[in-house]
Amino acid sequence: MAIKIEKKITGYNVVKPEDKAAPAAAPETKARAAEPRQAEVIQMHESLERPEQLIGSTFKIKSPLFEHALYVTINDIVLNAGTKYEQRRPFEIFINSKNMDHFQWIVALTRILSAVFRKGGDVTFIVEELKAVFDPRGGYFKAGGVYMPSIVAEIGAVIEQHMKNIGLIHDPEMSDSQRALIAEKRAAYEQAAGKKDEPVAEAAKGDGNANGFPPGATLCAKCNTQALVLMDGCQTCLNCGYSKCG
Ligand SMILES: [Zn+2]
Protein backbone atom coordinates (compact mmCIF):
# COMPACT_ATOMS: atom_id res chain seq x y z
CA MET A 1 0.00 0.00 0.00
CA ALA A 2 1.42 3.32 -1.09
CA ILE A 3 1.37 6.23 1.36
CA LYS A 4 1.67 9.74 0.08
CA ILE A 5 4.01 11.74 2.27
CA GLU A 6 2.77 15.29 2.54
CA LYS A 7 5.11 16.57 5.29
CA LYS A 8 8.87 16.79 5.37
CA ILE A 9 10.61 13.70 6.56
CA THR A 10 12.35 14.71 9.78
CA GLY A 11 13.35 11.26 10.99
CA TYR A 12 12.80 7.60 10.37
CA ASN A 13 12.92 4.17 11.99
CA VAL A 14 13.34 0.78 10.38
CA VAL A 15 10.35 -1.47 11.09
CA LYS A 16 11.58 -4.52 12.95
CA PRO A 17 9.66 -7.83 13.16
CA GLU A 18 8.89 -7.30 16.86
CA ASP A 19 7.29 -3.94 16.06
CA LYS A 20 4.84 -5.72 13.80
CA ALA A 21 4.03 -8.26 16.51
CA ALA A 22 3.33 -5.57 19.08
CA PRO A 23 0.07 -4.18 17.63
CA ALA A 24 -1.26 -7.72 17.38
CA ALA A 25 -0.50 -8.37 21.01
CA ALA A 26 -2.10 -5.16 22.19
CA PRO A 27 -5.76 -6.17 21.74
CA GLU A 28 -5.09 -9.30 23.75
CA THR A 29 -3.89 -7.25 26.71
CA LYS A 30 -7.02 -5.19 26.45
CA ALA A 31 -9.15 -8.32 26.41
CA ARG A 32 -7.40 -9.60 29.50
CA ALA A 33 -8.10 -6.37 31.33
CA ALA A 34 -11.76 -6.68 30.40
CA GLU A 35 -12.00 -10.14 31.96
CA PRO A 36 -13.71 -10.24 35.33
CA ARG A 37 -11.08 -9.75 38.02
CA GLN A 38 -10.36 -12.91 39.92
CA ALA A 39 -10.94 -12.89 43.64
CA GLU A 40 -7.75 -12.07 45.51
CA VAL A 41 -5.87 -14.97 47.04
CA ILE A 42 -5.85 -14.36 50.76
CA GLN A 43 -2.57 -14.99 52.49
CA MET A 44 -2.01 -15.20 56.20
CA HIS A 45 -1.33 -11.80 57.73
CA GLU A 46 -1.50 -10.17 61.11
CA SER A 47 -4.64 -8.15 60.63
CA LEU A 48 -6.69 -11.07 59.35
CA GLU A 49 -9.82 -11.03 61.46
CA ARG A 50 -10.58 -14.09 63.51
CA PRO A 51 -13.75 -15.80 62.31
CA GLU A 52 -16.37 -16.57 64.94
CA GLN A 53 -15.67 -20.26 64.65
CA LEU A 54 -12.44 -22.12 64.06
CA ILE A 55 -11.73 -25.82 63.68
CA GLY A 56 -8.91 -27.45 65.55
CA SER A 57 -7.44 -30.40 67.40
CA THR A 58 -6.52 -31.04 71.00
CA PHE A 59 -3.55 -33.22 71.88
CA LYS A 60 -2.83 -34.71 75.28
CA ILE A 61 0.75 -34.70 76.56
CA LYS A 62 1.67 -36.87 79.49
CA SER A 63 5.18 -36.36 80.73
CA PRO A 64 7.00 -37.78 83.74
CA LEU A 65 8.34 -34.24 84.22
CA PHE A 66 4.82 -32.93 84.82
CA GLU A 67 2.40 -34.02 87.46
CA HIS A 68 -0.70 -33.53 85.33
CA ALA A 69 -1.36 -33.95 81.64
CA LEU A 70 -1.07 -30.98 79.31
CA TYR A 71 -3.79 -30.39 76.75
CA VAL A 72 -2.59 -28.59 73.66
CA THR A 73 -5.29 -27.13 71.41
CA ILE A 74 -4.38 -25.78 67.99
CA ASN A 75 -7.11 -24.02 66.03
CA ASP A 76 -6.87 -23.51 62.30
CA ILE A 77 -8.19 -20.99 59.85
CA VAL A 78 -9.20 -22.06 56.35
CA LEU A 79 -8.11 -19.49 53.77
CA ASN A 80 -9.65 -19.25 50.29
CA ALA A 81 -12.15 -22.00 51.07
CA GLY A 82 -13.58 -23.72 48.03
CA THR A 83 -10.92 -22.43 45.64
CA LYS A 84 -7.78 -24.09 44.35
CA TYR A 85 -5.87 -21.87 46.80
CA GLU A 86 -7.64 -23.38 49.79
CA GLN A 87 -5.23 -23.68 52.66
CA ARG A 88 -5.61 -24.65 56.27
CA ARG A 89 -3.23 -22.87 58.60
CA PRO A 90 -2.79 -22.85 62.36
CA PHE A 91 -4.22 -19.66 63.82
CA GLU A 92 -3.93 -19.98 67.59
CA ILE A 93 -2.69 -22.34 70.29
CA PHE A 94 -3.84 -22.90 73.85
CA ILE A 95 -2.28 -25.09 76.50
CA ASN A 96 -4.27 -26.18 79.51
CA SER A 97 -3.35 -28.15 82.57
CA LYS A 98 -4.35 -28.69 86.18
CA ASN A 99 -0.73 -28.01 86.95
CA MET A 100 -0.37 -24.29 87.56
CA ASP A 101 3.36 -24.33 88.42
CA HIS A 102 4.43 -23.11 85.01
CA PHE A 103 1.35 -21.09 84.21
CA GLN A 104 3.01 -17.78 83.32
CA TRP A 105 5.58 -19.37 81.00
CA ILE A 106 2.97 -21.46 79.28
CA VAL A 107 0.76 -18.43 78.71
CA ALA A 108 3.75 -16.49 77.36
CA LEU A 109 4.69 -19.36 75.06
CA THR A 110 1.18 -19.79 73.67
CA ARG A 111 0.78 -16.07 73.05
CA ILE A 112 4.05 -15.86 71.18
CA LEU A 113 3.29 -19.01 69.19
CA SER A 114 -0.15 -17.70 68.25
CA ALA A 115 1.42 -14.41 67.16
CA VAL A 116 3.90 -16.30 64.97
CA PHE A 117 1.06 -18.32 63.41
CA ARG A 118 -0.85 -15.14 62.54
CA LYS A 119 2.18 -13.34 61.20
CA GLY A 120 2.03 -15.49 58.08
CA GLY A 121 4.78 -16.87 55.90
CA ASP A 122 6.46 -20.14 56.67
CA VAL A 123 5.70 -20.95 60.30
CA THR A 124 7.01 -24.52 60.26
CA PHE A 125 10.40 -23.37 61.59
CA ILE A 126 9.02 -23.12 65.14
CA VAL A 127 8.75 -26.93 65.23
CA GLU A 128 12.53 -27.30 64.98
CA GLU A 129 13.11 -24.44 67.42
CA LEU A 130 10.92 -26.03 70.07
CA LYS A 131 12.15 -29.58 69.47
CA ALA A 132 15.71 -28.41 70.09
CA VAL A 133 14.94 -27.24 73.63
CA PHE A 134 16.35 -29.59 76.24
CA ASP A 135 15.64 -29.76 79.92
CA PRO A 136 18.86 -29.68 81.98
CA ARG A 137 17.18 -32.07 84.43
CA GLY A 138 16.97 -34.63 81.63
CA GLY A 139 14.39 -35.72 79.11
CA TYR A 140 12.22 -38.80 78.91
CA PHE A 141 11.12 -41.53 76.53
CA LYS A 142 7.71 -41.60 74.95
CA ALA A 143 5.90 -44.83 74.27
CA GLY A 144 7.45 -46.02 71.03
CA GLY A 145 10.99 -45.27 72.16
CA VAL A 146 11.05 -41.67 70.96
CA TYR A 147 13.20 -39.46 73.15
CA MET A 148 11.84 -36.10 74.26
CA PRO A 149 14.58 -33.80 75.55
CA SER A 150 12.01 -31.56 77.31
CA ILE A 151 8.33 -30.80 77.67
CA VAL A 152 8.80 -27.82 75.31
CA ALA A 153 10.23 -30.24 72.75
CA GLU A 154 7.13 -32.36 73.09
CA ILE A 155 4.94 -29.32 72.49
CA GLY A 156 7.04 -28.85 69.33
CA ALA A 157 6.42 -32.47 68.37
CA VAL A 158 2.67 -31.97 68.86
CA ILE A 159 2.70 -28.87 66.64
CA GLU A 160 4.67 -30.86 64.05
CA GLN A 161 2.09 -33.65 64.15
CA HIS A 162 -0.69 -31.11 63.74
CA MET A 163 1.05 -29.45 60.81
CA LYS A 164 1.46 -32.87 59.19
CA ASN A 165 -2.23 -33.58 59.74
CA ILE A 166 -3.28 -30.38 57.98
CA GLY A 167 -0.75 -30.82 55.17
CA LEU A 168 1.59 -27.98 56.08
CA ILE A 169 4.52 -30.33 56.69
CA HIS A 170 5.12 -33.33 54.48
CA ASP A 171 7.03 -36.36 55.66
CA PRO A 172 9.89 -37.10 53.31
CA GLU A 173 8.67 -40.18 51.52
CA MET A 174 10.88 -43.20 52.13
CA SER A 175 11.53 -45.01 48.87
CA ASP A 176 10.64 -48.70 48.50
CA SER A 177 14.28 -49.60 48.02
CA GLN A 178 15.18 -47.78 51.25
CA ARG A 179 12.44 -49.63 53.09
CA ALA A 180 13.64 -52.93 51.64
CA LEU A 181 17.21 -52.15 52.69
CA ILE A 182 16.16 -51.47 56.28
CA ALA A 183 14.12 -54.70 56.38
CA GLU A 184 17.12 -56.59 55.00
CA LYS A 185 19.46 -55.10 57.62
CA ARG A 186 17.01 -55.95 60.33
CA ALA A 187 16.68 -59.56 59.20
CA ALA A 188 20.47 -59.85 59.07
CA TYR A 189 20.78 -58.37 62.55
CA GLU A 190 18.22 -60.72 64.04
CA GLN A 191 19.86 -63.69 62.36
CA ALA A 192 23.30 -62.69 63.63
CA ALA A 193 21.91 -62.23 67.13
CA GLY A 194 20.43 -65.71 66.90
CA LYS A 195 23.76 -67.33 66.02
CA LYS A 196 25.70 -65.65 68.79
CA ASP A 197 23.53 -66.27 71.77
CA GLU A 198 20.31 -68.18 72.30
CA PRO A 199 18.70 -65.88 74.91
CA VAL A 200 19.35 -62.84 72.72
CA ALA A 201 17.77 -64.69 69.83
CA GLU A 202 14.70 -65.33 71.89
CA ALA A 203 14.46 -61.68 72.76
CA ALA A 204 15.10 -60.62 69.17
CA LYS A 205 12.33 -62.90 67.95
CA GLY A 206 9.93 -61.39 70.45
CA ASP A 207 8.35 -57.99 70.34
CA GLY A 208 11.62 -56.27 71.15
CA ASN A 209 11.36 -52.97 72.97
CA ALA A 210 8.16 -50.97 73.21
CA ASN A 211 8.65 -49.74 69.67
CA GLY A 212 9.13 -53.18 68.19
CA PHE A 213 12.86 -52.68 67.66
CA PRO A 214 15.38 -55.19 68.94
CA PRO A 215 16.10 -55.01 72.66
CA GLY A 216 19.32 -53.17 73.38
CA ALA A 217 18.78 -50.82 70.48
CA THR A 218 20.10 -47.38 71.34
CA LEU A 219 18.92 -43.90 70.52
CA CYS A 220 19.29 -42.72 66.93
CA ALA A 221 20.50 -39.13 66.80
CA LYS A 222 18.67 -38.51 63.55
CA CYS A 223 15.13 -39.67 64.32
CA ASN A 224 15.30 -39.74 68.16
CA THR A 225 14.06 -43.33 68.22
CA GLN A 226 15.55 -46.26 70.12
CA ALA A 227 16.30 -48.24 66.99
CA LEU A 228 20.07 -48.00 66.57
CA VAL A 229 21.88 -51.36 66.44
CA LEU A 230 25.52 -52.23 65.87
CA MET A 231 26.11 -54.31 62.75
CA ASP A 232 29.51 -55.18 61.31
CA GLY A 233 31.05 -52.25 63.17
CA CYS A 234 28.47 -49.82 61.84
CA GLN A 235 25.68 -48.21 63.78
CA THR A 236 22.50 -48.73 61.82
CA CYS A 237 19.08 -47.28 62.59
CA LEU A 238 16.28 -49.75 61.88
CA ASN A 239 13.75 -46.93 61.89
CA CYS A 240 15.07 -44.26 59.52
CA GLY A 241 18.02 -46.05 57.94
CA TYR A 242 20.68 -43.73 59.37
CA SER A 243 24.07 -45.38 59.36
CA LYS A 244 27.46 -44.47 60.78
CA CYS A 245 30.55 -46.64 60.54
CA GLY A 246 33.65 -46.67 62.71
ZN1 LIG B 1 16.94 -43.19 63.04
* Distance from Cα 18 to the centre of ligand 1, integer Å: 59
Note whether 184 and 145 are same-domain residues: no
* Distance from Cα 166 to the centre of ligand 1, integer Å: 24
Task: Report if residue 17 sits inside a domain.
Answer: no
The residue out of 140, 165, 190 marking a domain boundary is 165
* Distance from Cα 222 to the centre of ligand 1, integer Å: 5
In terms of DSSP bridges, do strands 226-231 and 234-237 run parallel, antiparallel, or are they unpaired? antiparallel
Q: For residue range 46-105, what is the model confidence (pLDDT) as tens digits?
A: 888 899 999 999 999 998 888 899 999 999 999 988 888 899 999 999 999 998 888 899
* Distance from Cα 152 to the centre of ligand 1, integer Å: 21
Query: Could you tell me the CA-to-CA distances from 180 to 74, 172, 233 in Å, in that order?
Result: 36, 16, 21
Q: Where in the sequence is the domain holding 212, given as residue range(s)? A: 176-245
Q: For residue range 98-131, what is the model confidence (pLDDT) as tens digits?
A: 988 888 999 999 999 999 999 989 999 999 999 9
* Distance from Cα 22 to the centre of ligand 1, integer Å: 59
The residue out of 145, 165, 185 marking a domain boundary is 165
Task: Report if residue 28 sits inside a domain.
Answer: no
The residue out of 104, 134, 165 marking a domain boundary is 165
Note whether 113 and 194 are same-domain residues: no
Cα 227 from Cα 218, distance rounded (Å): 6
* Overall pTM > 0.75: no
Cα 223 from Cα 145, distance rounded (Å): 10
Task: Report if residue 14 sits inside a domain.
Answer: no
Cα 200 from Cα 214, distance rounded (Å): 9
Q: Is-contact 215 209, C-beta < 8 A?
A: yes
